[in-house]
Amino acid sequence: MYADDVIFRYQPKQIVIYCGENDLAGSDLVTADSVLHRFKTLFFMIREKLPTTPVLYLSMKPSPSRRKYLPLIEAGNQKIKAFLTTQRQGYFLDVYTAMLTPQGTIRGDIFTADSLHMNKKGYALWQPLLEPLLHL
């Protein structure tokens, strides 16, 4: 199993997860509920092997090249957030909102030319949000 190679073999003190965006963009059959189900599968797998390890989920980001998926991304984020509020040592970080202008549009200045991946400025935006939540 992939999780054995990238998670469990390291016995982490904390796990930070970013997932779901590529799933939604990769198939019209994937829904917000599908993303939630996949996340819950991973979360419970982690809980089985690392029952007290904090798990922090970074919300799916709003990418300009994936505007058509924003309703699904928002719904997926809400569902995962709601799930994590019911889980011990489960945390949700909203990076989505920080990536919007005051008018609610996606900030273009924090993405590379492909309008999908973040540039240095985008990661700098995440740093002060993420840093206080590391080593919970």
CA pair distance 5, 19, nearest whole angstrom: 17
129 burial (CB, 10 Å; 0-12 / 13-18 / 19+) is: middle
Sheet architecture: strand order including 15-17: 15-17, 55-58, 90-93
- Asked if pLDDT for residue 1 goes beyond 80, the answer is no
Mean pLDDT for 1-21 is 92
Architecture of domain 2-133: 3-Layer(aba) Sandwich (3.40)
Q: Which pLDDT does position 135 carry in this prediction? A: 82
Mean pLDDT for 1-19 is 92
Q: Can you point out the beta strands (E) in the chain?
A: 15-17, 55-58, 90-93
Domain segments of the chain as ranges: 2-133
Mean pLDDT for 73-80 is 98
